[in-house]
Structure 1
Amino acid sequence: MKNKRVGSVEQEVKVPAWIQILGWLISLSAFAVGFWHAHLGLKQFGFLSSQYGSFVIAGLILMVLIVAYNRAMLGVKSAIYFYLICALFMFIFNMNSFYPTYLGEKLIKEDASAMKDTLTKYTAKLKGVSEKQDGSTIKTIGILNDIKESLLNEIEGTGINDFGPKAQGFLIDFNRMAGSDLSSGSETIGTSKDLAAKKNRWRSKLDAAIRNWYIASNPNLKNGAEIITANLKLDSVNKAYAPLLENIMTDTATIDLSNPSKLKQVVTMGQAASQFDIIGKGVNEFLAKKDQLPKLNDEVNQVAFPPTKELGRFAHTISSVKQRINKIDTWGIIILCLFIDIVVPLAIYFMLRGNKNNEEFTSVFKGRKRNFTHND
């Protein structure tokens, strides 16, 4: 290694062979970990139309990295730049492996929370807009909605083939106030799934009756029918999906992240977002810009809602890291990848660099050797 000056006498400091071997073992171990996670981070690109294509690309990066690192250790100073470029590639693709693996479940829960907040916020906002349309009918709409919910709860609570006495009473009250002629009829219910389907059918019937009453009561109200219809639909979506989203947020079961787009939790969020967008598309043209519903699946976005549908893909990782850059767990993954791909190999490089015998440095462009050892 470099000569160390003691007074006027220069002494050559040599690194023991076993330390050099240990140093290389440490660096190669870091390279091996980086190679494996680079392969995992590259899988989504589908190189060579094969699941093994990522091994080829990660292997190419690894081989160039090791050659550059070796040349830098032997004294080719400019080789360190080639090493750093390869290490940067390793770092990026390692992030695309570590980030979704260790934060995937948390990201899914955060998406569920965001979807629930969006439904709650814009349901209340659209309700406020619809109330401004005609204050004289809001009280009646509120009463009709209360009767509707009581009727739906009674249907779910009884679980019988036909309406019970209380449900019949609620339906009579509803028909009288809404001017509708809905009939309870008779439906066979074999399972809880049949009961849920019956409840959903009646929700649609009752919402339609409320809308028809509103239109009939306010024939000259500009855009009122569209806004009240959107309000009822969004309220129904919120009530249908809020409990499901809450369950995703609080569920402690381990989630299999091997195929995020097909996860039940992700599919549920996608369905809620799709319903939200359909309502927004139908009503936004009638609303002031400040009151419009946002488009969750905007064509200009690389990552549509829920973002975790693209979990493990490069675009999602970059986008999510940028959004969560102020989170400690995000920095934990960044620091881990930096440590494996850059800090460990560079630490060994600075401790072992140079020729072990006589500080001979080889030019990156010429093959001749230059001896920088000072002789007494």
Structure 2
Amino acid sequence: MTVFKGFVRVLLRNLGFVFVFTAIMVVIGLTAYQAPAGGAANFTADKPKTILINQGSETPLTRAFDSYLRQRTSKADVKSSEREIDDALYYEALAYAVYLPPDFTDKILKGQEPTVGIKSRASAQSASAEALVTRFLRLATGYGKYLNDEDELVKAIESSAKLSADVVLTSQLDTKTLMLTAGLYNFGSYTLMAGSIYVMTMVLAAFAEINVRRRTVVSSAKPLRIDLNLNIGCAIIMLLLAALNVGLVSVLIPASWSTGRGGLFALNTFVFGLPVLALGFLMSKITTNKQALSAIVNVIALASSFLCGAFIPTRLMPEAVVAVGQVLPAFYYIDNNNTLAQMTTFSGDDANHFWINIAVQIGFAIVFWIASLVLERYRRRV
């Protein structure tokens, strides 16, 4: 009990750091991650923002393509320079950019499919735009095999393009809320990791100070009991901070639970706490210098967030960076959040992928625990 009281005293002196990161998450949640009122029932058609860049001469066919897109999409207010298009895609001011090659018309009139350049981002709008572009190209290429007159070809395409079908909404999955929930949980991985590891390492470093260690050695308390109390205390910290993370998401995005996946998001968060807890113990075995620990915590938390997709989605990062991120437990936590947001039903391969990521996170925790035990044994011998 004496050890645990000392643990609590040291903990209280370091809670300010947790409050700072909690405030950061609240501010980010209120500004960037807010679900709209209503939910899945408020389904509305949304025209994707596109831009068409003709790299050749203007022809009736290219004008027909431009007219086709204008009727079914909204034109993005973006200039045709590559840099501005890339920026617009990143900031979601543009969903799809289409580049018509110089031989666009000639190839279609020969019944061949032209090589159309595209730039897009992984989003529902981009998928919608891609479907529209693909439909036009298939119509044009198909009719181009039988019609050599360009005007007749344009009339045939326009006639077929007018055909439509009623859309019936069969899924009530609130994808907007799920994506916002995943995004906030992903950002929360930084606050959870930085806050919990900082507090744990500061507490453990305080108990590792030479004067404290001498007192515990001469006391009647057994080393095993002292270590057990420290372990329990750190585990309680991790549970409380993980619960705080889940609670903040629930308050900031109340609709997250109505999606039916709030429990899975919470489970993923508590499982992520295991490797974080083990990593905190491992860092405390590497050094007991508080200044060094503070710097290491910031480096590890920020590196995990940037490399694993907490701040920037992995789909926008180079493959080499994503490969590096896969050696960190945060990658699998964030991947699970994204999977929960994107899957239609929690079954089949998607469900297996989720549980595999859970197992990988537990595996990281085991590896970190073993490494910390090895370091502790080595330090005692030295």
Q: TM (normalized to structure 2)?
A: 0.30
The structure whose Rg is larger is 1
Whose relative contact order is higher, 1 or 2, with alpha carbons under 8 Å and at least 6 apart? Answer: 1
Q: TM (normalized to structure 1)?
A: 0.30
